[in-house]
Amino acid sequence: MVILTLNCGSSSAKYQVYDWDNKDVLTVGVVERIGQEYSTIEQKSRGKEEFNDKFVSPTHAEAIDYILKMLQDPTYGCIKDLSEIGAVGHRVLHGGEMFKKSTLVTDEVVEQLKTLIPLGPLHMPGNIMGIECARKLMPNVPQAIVLDTAWHQTMPKEAFMYAVPYEWYEKYNVRRYGFHGTSHLYCAKRAAVLLGKENKDTNVIILHIGNGASACAVKDGVCIDTTMGLTPLEGLVMGTRSGDIDPAVIPYICENAGYTVKEMDTILNKKSGLVGLCGKSDRRDVSIMAENGDEKAQLCVDLECHRIKKYIGAYAALLGRVDAIVFTAGVGEMGENIRLGSCQGLESLGIKIDPEKNDLSHCRNAETVISTDDSPVKIFVIPTDEELVITEDAYALMKGTYDVHTNFHYSFEDPNYVNKARERGLVKNLEKKPGLKNIIAVPPKKN
């Protein structure tokens, strides 16, 4: 039996097929440019050539239909027919206060999700359309939703409330929800394994740094605070999003520049952050520009590191004791300069980064330690695996064994857990960079 995961964004659909019996990834792929003149698909199945194509996909319906056809393709696919799919897991941006954990999809659940569209107008329509299309094409297959916001439901009220009129919370659900929850869950539990601790005894600060970025404070194995808020706009500096900003800036600029509220929302979400400061949103481009003397690009690097460092300090104060700092996601896993700039100068908090180890850690197939040997606080780089969390939630819901994460055991919580696909990829990484083996994180042996 295989489990299909679908992550439908505003104009894309990422997918993965997981062989549950052999605990291995069979296929990964993505359809992009949905709704534009043409869409593109990239698919890679284990042991087969990569498939690339262009096709017309006005909506997610055509995209998912094409995905399912390609999964059954004799040359590029991984299954003979759809009957091999035992469950489908969908990543959903926003659960509001309605969904506090993963759940099976029903007609009622779909209608409830539609009421949450105002809380995530960019992503929720695509999420919901993906669910509806998959249910139509696979009506007899159990389907589950895994919410980005669910992990953060353990935040205390003083962490998730805003100091605005209380009726905004009562009438309009205005509060901090937090996002990237599936990634934070995976990394928190992997960090506990690498520390040789139980989840309930683990305090970590997780930095999910990608085009979107968020920090999360984890105390005794659960989230107590996070940087994103009602939407994914608040918090750290991001590729195209502003992160934290004085709210008074919005009416000030609207009045002086003549922007509407809708235009300002677009600017803050799509034209701010790094792209607003230097014209580029990709950290690789920004880093090259900064190395070549571009002052605005260097400002981007400095500003991003400053913001991350500030939140590390704030969350260290909330936690009292920090066992580890965790970097994850595209930039967290591959951005040596951002990791270094974010951790340097934090020695008084017991956080000591080793520049040489940090430079070596440029790999998505291994968990590494980049702190000095005498650092009281470990610094880990943990490649995230949101798809595996979605896969395991979907399977457990199908079998009736699922529960909230504090009462549920994931396969990756086992010290002997191995990601087979990454293990294969690591062999190639070590051929190119043998020194990488010296910083690979290994769970301590228990007495």
The CA distance from 113 to 180, in Å, is: 18
C-alpha angle 305-307-312 in degrees, rounded to nearest 5: 90
CA torsion, ordered 201, 204, 208, 214, to nearest 10 deg: 100
Give, in degrees to the nearest 5, the angle at Cα 406 between 402 and 407: 45
Output the six-digit token pair for 40: 């593109």
Q: Of 53, 65, 107, 148, which residue is the catalytic one?
A: 148
> ∠ CA(127), CA(128), CA(129), 5° rounding?
95
Q: For residues 60 and 128, what is the distance between their CA atoms, to the nearest angstrom?
A: 10
**Cα distance from N-terminal residue to C-terminal residue, the chain:** 37
Closest CA to 187 of 326, 336, 365: 326
CB 88 within 8 A of CB 3: yes
Torsional class of 260: left (φ above 0), alpha (ψ -120 to 50), beta (otherwise): beta
> Whose CA is closest to 329, among 344, 308, 345?
308
What's the order of all strands across the beta sheet hosting 368-369? Answer: 222-226, 213-219, 204-209, 324-328, 378-381, 368-369
What type of residue is 241? Answer: R
Joined together, the tokens standing for residue 88 give: 């489908």
Which of 276, 272, 274, 343 has its CA nearest to residue 310? 343
Residues, the chain:
447
Indicate if 148 belongs to the active site: yes
Active site residues: 148
